Structure 1
Amino acid sequence: MMQINSEFSGHKHSLLNVMNRFLAAANNMDETIMVPSLLRDVPLEDQDSQAPALNNNNIDDSYSGKQRDMYEHYLLLKSIKNDMEWGLLKREVNGGPSFLEMAVKQEEDEPKGGGGVPAEDTSDLESQFHYHLRGLFGVLSKLTLQADHLTNRYKREIGGGNFMR
């Protein structure tokens, strides 16, 4: 098993720290929501006051509208958490593509001469890495806020508002 140097994982702005915060929020959501079916048909609140808009980092604003209720949103967050913890192998065993697999497939299918970056072009790998790293930081931060919001909303719905963190 790979050991992670605590010097790097302890920095507030490290990728590992951001990933761990999302995983902790998703685990808290999972432990708090004992009966996920109670989330069915409960519409998502307008999260503009709770979380930043989803149109940053090239994320389509219509994406948030695809989760019609809190239950679907819960399943999405749980699926992303599982993909982060288990990687692509678990999806291959269970069948069906993960969100990560679909993104990789879409990137591979882009025309090489068009707007995509050709596979042979390795001269600008550092800027590509930083671009995707910034996007990953943004997405993980938003997912963490959404998991916390969903957990707190569940607590309010079942009357456990006194225990919100």
Structure 2
Amino acid sequence: MMMQISIDPASNKHSLLNVMHRFIAAANNMDETIMVPSLLRDVPLEEQANNNNNNDDDVAETQVASNKQRDMYEHYLLLKSIKNDMEWGLLKREMSSGASFLEIAVKQEEEEQQPSVKGVLAVEDNADLEHQFHYHLRGLFGVLSKLTLQADHLTNRYKREIGGGNFMR
């Protein structure tokens, strides 16, 4: 019996396209659920330790809390910005406003990796391209997986907060 290999890379749950689609779907769900983003202002990323349940949301909460954003609103904007950069690319942002977090990182990395002689790619750089590709691919998988969890968590937290009326002060 011959093993049949799927031709569609997006059907493989471990493909880059699938991971990207999952993040974009989670970000879209977050955007559709959060009808009034301004309600997220001044709401800390960390929930008060009122409940002692150890569940997946607690793990995601810890991951979200480790970010540099001060409140849920800033985190919401960051996730939307990353989704837009993925969908539209960096060129649109360059033409409209300014540098995104992703764009700044890419430019810094390009500057660090510039060969000493302009216009000539060193042979050792070519030999290392496969290693660089796999290194960045692993990083991209990890980052997109975390961003997906954070978008799902932000959506669920918004639902809990709105349901409990915790935004009303």
Normalising by structure 2, report the TM-score.
Answer: 0.76
2:42 aligned counterpart, secondary structure: coil
Equivalent of residue 140 in structure 2, options 111, 117, 136: 136
- Give 1:124 shift: 1.5
Determine if contact 1:41/1:71 at 8 Å carries over to the other structure.
Answer: yes
Equivalent of residue 50 in structure 1, options 55, 60, 63: 60
Provide, for residues 65-105 of structure 1, a one-character-per-residue CA deviation record: whole Å limited to 9, x for no partner: x2000000000000000000000121022121122220121
Q: Match of 1:95?
A: 97
Equivalent of residue 126 in structure 1, options 119, 130, 154: 130
Q: Match of 2:14?
A: 13
Provide, for residues 16-35 of structure 1, a one-character-per-residue CA deviation record: whole Å limited to 9, x for no partner: 00000000000000000000
Determine if contact 2:45/2:61 at 8 Å carries over to the other structure.
Answer: no
Equivalent of residue 148 in structure 1, options 152, 156, 161: 152
The 3 A distance-change label for structure 1 pair 127 and 111 is closer
Which AA in structure 2 matches 1:17?
N
Which AA in structure 2 matches 1:36?
P
Q: Match of 1:27?
A: 28
Root-mean-square deviation (CA, aligned residues, Å) is 2.9
Determine if contact 1:43/1:68 at 8 Å carries over to the other structure.
Answer: yes
Q: Which runs of 5+ in 1 are unaligned?
A: 55-60, 114-118, 161-165
The 3 A distance-change label for structure 1 pair 35 and 156 is same
* Larger Rg belongs to: 2
Q: Percent identity?
A: 77
Which AA in structure 2 matches 1:23?
I
Work out the number of aligned pairs and report it. Answer: 146
Moved more, 33-42 or 119-128: 119-128
Provide, for residues 13-58 of structure 1, a one-character-per-residue CA deviation record: whole Å limited to 9, x for no partner: 000000000000000000000000000010002776226858xxxx
Q: Which runs of 5+ in 2 are unaligned?
A: 1-5, 48-56, 116-120, 165-169
Which AA in structure 1 matches 2:130?
E
Structure 1 distance, partners of 2:27, 2:161, is 18
Structure 1 distance, partners of 2:75, 2:40, is 9
